[in-house]
Each structure stands twice: as structure tokens, then as C-alpha cells.
Amino acid sequence: MLSPHGRQLMSEAMVQVRNVQKSYVRGKQTVEVLHGLSLDIPKGDFVALMGPSGSGKTTLLNLIGGLDSPTSGEIRVGGERIDQLSGGRLAEWRARNVGFVFQFYNLMPVLTAERNVELPLLLTKLSAAQRRKSVAIALEVVGLADRARHKPKELSGGQEQRVAIARALVSDPALLICDEPTGDLDRKTADEILGLLQVLNREHGKTIVMVTHDPKAAGFANRILHLEKGQLLEQATAAA
């Protein structure tokens, strides 16, 4: 259940990346994306990943979220070695522990907001009544309780992204993975969504890792990490 209480930044790591390398084979060529990268993200942190295109930001995000596996190295999330999981076990781990928010909302156009939010819960053993309660809480947290019966075409872009965030929250994951979550929004709406992410971080204790090209968006995070050519550069504290 989403916590109504204030956030307490905890010292133990939510994410531990150790000497991770990632390469892809394209035809006869091997492309190295990450080069022995190590990183700690404490529980309750809000981190923005920045860097030029091709620097490895999204690759690192996908590794942390269990959407991909490293070529070598270790990745622990919540104390679990996810680089050792595969197939169904990794999918089950993602469903329990990670919420994903992308630039494009990936909502089902024929379903209402509440049905879109409910989708991840259909893979669980929750009863219909329990699912309805969780969906109602998630929509209330993102400020869309009054839009529960609306379909995506009846919502603004910002509202659609709020539905996507509610869907990411509905299973109450400890970690939110956000890939350019405001890239398709105007400045005012983007700032509203980023403010919501801050609330989820500060008041609900969610650990957030966000990729963005937008320096202003990155400023909403607690820390900014810069990647270049698959390596982590200096760490910076975002402006308050």
C-alpha cells in the first residue's frame, strides 16, 4: 500500500551496480556500451541520468529495471542479485519490485483509466475488490480520481502520463524507472509531472531513477549523474 507518511532517506542501497559491462553484437561487430560501471543508489533517492545520445543512459536504466542483463558484473536491487535471474523469475521480480514510466504512455485506448491502471494487477492473486481498492488509491495519489472512467482519448497528455504513473504505482513497487517521462509534454505540464515524481519520492518513499535530456527536468532530482561513452562522470547534487 502506498505510504501516506513522510520520506526517510535510508542509508542502505536500493541499487548496487558493480563493474558492469554491457555489449551488443550487431552483425560482425561487437558494440561496447557500458565499461566496468559501478554505482550505488540509496533507498529513497531520486537520481537523474544525463548524457549525450549513445552514452549508455537507457542501457543502464534497462539493466537496473531488469529489462536487460549485463554482459558481466553484478546488479543488486533491494538486495537481490537480479543479474542471476532469467526468464520467468526475472519477469516476476519486475512485477513485484519495479514500476516503469516511459515517454510515450503506452495506454490501451479501448480501456478506461482505471482499467489501464489495473492491468499489472491482473497477473497477481488479488481479488477484484482488492484490485479496485489499489487502483482507486493509485489514481487518487496522481490526482485523477475524477477521471477513472475516462478513456485515453478523453484525457490530456499530462493526464495520460498521470495514468501511466498510477499504473506504475499500483503494485506499490519500491523502485520507479522513468525514461524521458516528460519528453512528450509542454513545459508547464512537464513541471507538473516532475512535481508529482518529487511527491512520490519525498512523501511516499519511492526510489526513482530517471533518464532525461532536459537539464530543468534533472533539477527536480536529488542527484544528477552524467554518463559519457559508457562511463560515469562526476556526481552532482541537483538544485533545490
Contact criterion met (CB below 8 Å) for 6 and 206: no
Edge-to-edge strand ranges of the sheet holding 46-50 = 98-102, 175-179, 207-211, 46-50, 223-228, 231-237
pLDDT of residue 104: 83
The pLDDT value recorded for residue 9 is 43
Domain of 158, CATH number, reads: 3.40.50.300
Element (DSSP H or E) covering residue 202: helix 187-202
Asked whether residue 94 is assigned to any structural domain, the reply reads yes
What are the cell numbers at 200? 512520490
Determine the pLDDT at residue 234.
62
pLDDT tens for each residue of 79-122: 999 999 988 888 888 888 999 998 888 899 999 999 999 998 88
Segment 39-66 shows an average pLDDT of 93
pLDDT at 96: 85
Would the pLDDT of 235 be above 70?
no
**Domain assignment of residue 216, yes or no:** yes
User: Tens of pLDDT along 156-211?
Assistant: 999 999 999 999 999 899 999 999 998 888 899 999 999 999 999 999 999 999 99
Residue 129's pLDDT band (cuts 50, 70, 90)? very high
Beta-carbon count within 10 A of 27 CB: 6
Classify residue 202: in a domain, yes or no.
yes
The set of long-range contacts for 149-153, using a CB threshold of 8 Å and a minimum separation of 24, is 149/112, 149/113, 149/114, 150/112, 150/113, 151/109, 151/110, 151/111, 151/112, 151/113, 152/105, 152/107, 152/108, 152/109, 152/113, 152/116, 153/109
Maximum Cα–Cα distance across the chain: 54
Per-residue confidence band for 39, with pLDDT thresholds at 50, 70 and 90: very high
230: region left, alpha or beta (phi > 0 left; psi from -120 to 50 alpha): left
Question: Does 146 fall in a domain?
Answer: yes
- pTM value is 0.86
Domain membership of residue 78 (yes or no) is no
- Residue 178 CB-half CA count within 13 A: 34
Which residues, other chains included, contact 143 with Cβ-Cβ below 8 Å and sequence gap of 6+?
A: 162, 196
| 8 A C-beta contact, residue 162 and residue 193 | yes
Owning domain of residue 136: 43-66+88-237
Look at the chain and report how many structural domains it folds into: 1
Within a domain: 6: no
119 vs 4, which has greater pLDDT? 119
Percent of the chain with pLDDT over 70: 92
CA 227 to chain centre: 18
H-helix or E-strand spanning residue 197: helix 187-202
Residue 115: other Cβ atoms inside 10 A: 16
Which pLDDT does position 7 carry in this prediction?
A: 40
In a domain, 61, yes or no: yes
User: Of the candidates 211, 201, 196, 156, which has an alpha carbon nearest to the alpha carbon of residue 175?
Assistant: 201
Terminal Cα-to-Cα distance of the chain (whole angstroms): 28
**Within a domain: residue 19?**
no
- Beta-bridged to residue 175, according to DSSP, are 98, 207
